Amino acid sequence: MPIGLIIIGDEILSGKRVDQHFPKVVQLLAARGLQLGWAEFLGDDRERITATLQRTFASGDIVFSCGGIGATPDDHTRQAAAAALGLPLLMHEGAKESIQQRVRQIAAEKGEAPDLTSAEHLQRLQMAEFPQGAALIPNPYNGVAGFAYGTHYFVPGFPVMAWPMIEWVLDTHYADLFNREPRAEQSVLVYEAAEAALTPLMLALEAAWPRIKVFSLPSVGDANTRRHIELGVKGDPAQCEAAFAHMCRELDALNVEYVKP
Domain boundaries, the chain: 3-177, 184-259
CA atoms of 242 and 114, how far apart (whole Å): 67
Per-residue model confidence (pLDDT) at position 223: 83
Give pLDDT < 50 ranges for the chain.
none
CA angle 213, 214, 216 (to 5 degrees): 145
CA atoms of 231 and 260, how far apart (whole Å): 10
Alpha helices in the chain, H assignment, sequence order:
10-13, 21-30, 46-59, 77-85, 93-110, 119-124, 159-173, 195-208, 237-254
Say yes or no: domain 3-177 is CATH 3.40.980.10.
yes
Kindly report the pTM of this predicted structure. Answer: 0.86
CA 145, 147, 148, 153 dihedral sign is negative
Per-residue model confidence (pLDDT) at position 225: 86
Q: Which amino acid is at 169?
A: V
Per-residue model confidence (pLDDT) at position 103: 86
Per-residue model confidence (pLDDT) at position 181: 82
Fold adopted by 184-259: Alpha-Beta Plaits (3.30.70)
Q: What are phi and psi of 113, to 5 degrees?
A: -85, 135
Per-residue model confidence (pLDDT) at position 253: 95
